């Protein structure tokens, strides 16, 4: 990751099978990146399970979906607005929706879009989320299982796609199918496989032998992380922690940022 | 165009009304901008914050008015009611902002387009360390000024100079005057009362410019148009001399 401000910020999306620990790793990665107080990090909770806020010690009052519904409500009421006015309102509401903690801001996407096709509103919001993200030094997206949902509901332009798997065969296959979709869609993101909840190194070797994806690292099973995830606790305090150290090693080489530690 | 002349007089009265405890100061902004523009990653988070103006939980009233009578606008003057950007005044301030512009050659055809161009200007003025979000119809303008910008000397005068220069660049704007109000929620609410009257006129102007089928008999702005000469003239032009209903191209 370049810390040069004239380049677009790295946009890192974590995707993978449900239950492999995407949210915990997204929270830890956000905290790792934000350890440098000069680096402002946008965390985007794009998982309908919406656990990233709690993992970052934040509460969500408004989501992008709420903003979308407000805009659609205005259209349904027959309030006619020029595109620029709608854009200004949406931009205001998106900034209002940010939950902040030090140099971390969180944007929750909310539930998947409901009835009706409001392409104009959806496209507006995607562009605006992208513009908002461009104001930060790094963006971490806790994605749904697939990258196509991130592209459709959050933003395009992901620069680093971290496919998270546990040591299971099923997790690896889901990760590979997500990579296939990304490649077929012509995504230019760097793609890497991160193996989570590893109990012994043999599990990583088995994954490495079976996959065509580059394995960027592994994160050991960690009781503190597991407990925090299970109980919906704030993970930002997990600083002296083997899982975090392992993630930092993997991410700093894959994304290319300078560690603050 | 004299759509807002009466409102400009009310704003002038508002500026001249003595208020206990709220300093009223005047500054010249008739100088080139003296602050660099924001870079690509110039978002201001709470952690970077020096002062927040007109945030979602504070009062905010921001609008612009214009006139064809240059005598109604004090060119290059900024009036500030309340403290300048001083963190000692508190991290969050209510915020009022009025752009008073003297503009030439407005007519029934170009008024709406020119209004749109003028209302867009504030989005194009982005001084480093001063982030803005605004909703025109709600008259809200939310600014965050970073601690670093304050330490380097950013003030409302700096902002005023940047805004004045950008409005003048439109060509048809001859004079620029600015009122900022940071004196507290009550003062900003007082300004918002005036702003709402300006907004109704803008809404009528927008309606007339945007309607495909315009029926005066069913229009909520008919009484206003009957009273305001500029709106009356626009209506006549739109109707092409036919009374009642007009189909817009």
B220 & B200 share domain:
no
A135/B39 CB distance under 8 A: no
Interatomic CA distance for residues B146 and B131, integer angstroms: 8
B19 & B108 share domain:
yes
Query: Beta partners for B80?
Result: B25, B180
Instruction: Please tell me the pTM assigned to this model.
Output: 0.88
Residue B212 has pLDDT above 70, yes or no: no
B209, B224, B241: which is the final residue of a domain?
Answer: B209
CATH of the domain at B103: 3.30.1650.10
B69 & B143 share domain:
yes
Task: Return the residue of B nearest to A105 by Cα.
Answer: B45
B160 & B249 share domain:
no
Averaged pLDDT, A124-150: 86
Taking the CA of residue A234 and the nearest CA in chain B, the distance in Å comes to 19
Question: A170-183 burial, b if ≥16 CB within 10 A, otherwise e?
Answer: ebbebbbebbeebe
Cα angle A1, B35, B120 (rounded to 5 degrees) comes to 85
Q: Residue B88: CB partners within 8 Å, gap ≥ 6? A: none
Q: Does B113 touch chain A (CB under 8 A)?
A: no
Nearest to A102 among B47, B137, B210 (CB): B47
Q: What are phi and psi of B119, to 5 degrees?
A: -75, -15
* pLDDT mean across residues, chain A: 88
- Give 3-state DSSP helix, strand, coil % of chain B, rounded to 5: 40, 25, 35
Task: Return the residue of B nearest to A137 by Cα.
Answer: B41
Best mutation target among B40, B42, B43 (most A Cβ atoms within 10 Å) is B43
Q: Does A131 touch chain B (CB under 8 A)?
A: no
Nearest to B40 among A95, A102, A134 (CB): A134
B184 & B219 share domain:
no
Nearest to A92 among B39, B120, B133 (CB): B133
User: Domain span at residue B34?
Assistant: 5-209
ipTM: 0.85
The pLDDT value given to residue B248:
44
Class of domain A11-62+99-116+136-255: alpha beta
Q: Does A87 touch chain B (CB under 8 A)?
A: no
Tokens 């002062």 sit at which residue?
B51
Q: Does A199 touch chain B (CB under 8 A)?
A: no
For chain B, what is the domain count?
A: 2
A95/B40 CB distance under 8 A: no
A88/B135 CB distance under 8 A: yes
Averaged pLDDT, B65-74: 95
Nearest to B39 among A5, A40, A89 (CB): A5
Residue B195 has pLDDT above 60, yes or no: yes
The pLDDT value given to residue A26:
97
Averaged pLDDT, B37-54: 92
Q: Summarize pLDDT for B216-238 with one digit per residue, the tens.
A: 766 777 777 777 777 777 777 76
Interatomic CA distance for residues A212 and A192, integer angstroms: 10
B77 & B112 share domain:
yes
B134 & B237 share domain:
no
DSSP state of B246: E
């Amino acid at each position: 990751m370049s810390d040069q401000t004239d380049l677009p910020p790295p946009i890192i999306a974590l995707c993978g099978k449900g239950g492999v620990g995407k949210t915990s790793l997204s929270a830890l990665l956000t905290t790792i990146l934000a350890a440098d107080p000069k680096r402002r990090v946008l965390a985007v909770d794009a998982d309908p399970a919406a656990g990233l806020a709690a993992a970052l010690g934040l509460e969500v009052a408004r989501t992008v979906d709420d903003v979308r519904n407000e805009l659609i409500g205005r259209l349904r009421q027959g309030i006619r607005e020029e595109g620029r006015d709608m854009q200004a309102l949406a931009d205001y509401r998106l900034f209002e929706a940010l939950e902040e903690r030090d140099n971390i801001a969180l944007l929750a996407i909310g539930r998947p879009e409901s009835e009706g096709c409001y392409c104009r509103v959806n496209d507006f919001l995607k562009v605006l989320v992208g513009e908002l993200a461009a104001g930060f030094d790094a963006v971490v997206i806790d994605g749904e299982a697939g990258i196509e949902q991130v592209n459709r509901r959050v933003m395009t332009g992901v620069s680093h796609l971290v496919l998270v798997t546990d040591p299971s065969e099923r997790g690896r296959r889901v990760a590979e199918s997500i990579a296939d979709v990304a490649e077929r869609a012509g995504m230019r993101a760097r793609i890497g496989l991160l193996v989570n909840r590893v109990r012994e190194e043999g599990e990583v070797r088995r994954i490495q032998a079976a996959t065509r994806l580059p394995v960027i690292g592994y994160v050991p099973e960690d009781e503190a992380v597991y407990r925090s995830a299970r109980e919906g606790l704030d993970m930002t305090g997990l600083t002296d922690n083997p899982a975090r150290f392992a993630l930092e090693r993997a991410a700093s080489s894959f994304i290319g940022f300078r560690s603050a530690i | 165009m004299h759509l807002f002349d009466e409102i400009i007089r009310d704003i002038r009265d508002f500026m001249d009304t003595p208020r206990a405890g709220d300093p009223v100061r005047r500054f010249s902004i008739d100088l080139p901008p003296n602050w660099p523009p924001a870079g690509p990653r110039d978002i201001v988070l709470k952690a970077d914050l020096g002062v927040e103006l007109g945030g979602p939980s504070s009062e905010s009233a921001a609008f612009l008015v214009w006139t064809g009578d240059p005598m109604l606008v004090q060119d290059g003057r900024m009036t500030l009611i309340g403290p300048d950007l001083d963190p000692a005044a508190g991290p969050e301030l209510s915020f009022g902002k009025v752009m008073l512009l003297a503009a030439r050659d407005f007519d029934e055809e170009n008024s709406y387009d020119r209004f749109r161009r003028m209302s867009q200007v504030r989005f194009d003025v982005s001084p480093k360390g001063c982030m803005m979000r605004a909703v025109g119809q709600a008259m809200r303008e939310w600014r965050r000024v970073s601690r670093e910008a304050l330490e380097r000397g950013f003030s409302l005068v700096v902002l005023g100079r940047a805004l004045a220069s950008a409005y003048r660049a439109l060509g048809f704007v001859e004079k620029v005057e600015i009122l900022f109000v940071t004196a507290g929620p009550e003062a900003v609410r007082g300004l918002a009362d005036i702003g709402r009257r300006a907004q109704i006129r803008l809404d009528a102007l927008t309606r007339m410019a945007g309607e495909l089928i315009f029926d005066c008999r069913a229009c909520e702005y008919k009484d206003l148009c009957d009273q305001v000469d500029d709106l009356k003239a626009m209506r006549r032009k739109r109707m092409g001399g036919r009374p009642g209903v007009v189909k817009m191209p």
